[in-house]
Amino acid sequence: MSVATETRPLADRLRHLRAPLAVSGVLLFVTPAVGWWVDGPTGALGAAVGVLVVAGGYALSSVTVAWADWINPKLVFSVGLASYLFKVSLLGIVLMSVLRADWPGTRMMAIGMITAILAWVFAQTWWTAMYGPTRPDPAVERP
């Protein structure tokens, strides 16, 4: 039986989220501190918002794709693409609104987003290399 057609629980399909969410949690302390140092309280808020937007979007995409795989693996591509398009469109609307408002935290929000994207991709790549589908996850006990 292939990995895509196994009847694994939904939570098992999301076990890769632990590493990038942990890294994002660390970034929620580091980037606002840098934002405070660079631009004061507004910079701290902007940096935190940037990290939260990226982590929330990536986590939402992971959950929707895992759900689609759990329901029917043939749905993964279409649900993943729809999730991506929704996320990018919503992000574009939010960013355009922030830019039009001329908010002083925009610069640190962008830095927080860039940092969170790079950290998320690195953490997920590391997890996949270490514990991907062909390797056991030490946090999950198997019989």
Domain range enclosing 78: 14-129
Between CA 62 and CA 86 the distance in angstroms is 13
* Residues 45, 47, 53, 55, CA torsion sign: negative
Between CA 15 and CA 60 the distance in angstroms is 14
Residue 7 covered by a domain: no
Residue 140 covered by a domain: no
Domain count, the chain: 1
* Angle in degrees, 0-180, between the axes of helices 76-101 and 18-71, rounded to the nearest 10: 130
Residue 86 covered by a domain: yes
Residue 134 covered by a domain: no
Residue 135 covered by a domain: no
Residue 28 covered by a domain: yes
Tens of pLDDT, residues 35-76:
999 999 999 999 999 999 999 999 999 999 999 988 998 999
Give 46's contacts (C-beta < 8 A, 6+ positions apart).
Answer: 35, 39, 103, 104, 105, 106, 107, 108, 109, 112
Residue 2 covered by a domain: no
Task: Read off the tokens for 74.
Answer: 């043939």
Residue 137 covered by a domain: no
pLDDT at 139 over 70: no
Tens of pLDDT, residues 85-127:
988 888 788 778 888 888 889 999 999 999 999 999 999 999 8
Between CA 111 and CA 36 the distance in angstroms is 13
Between CA 131 and CA 133 the distance in angstroms is 7
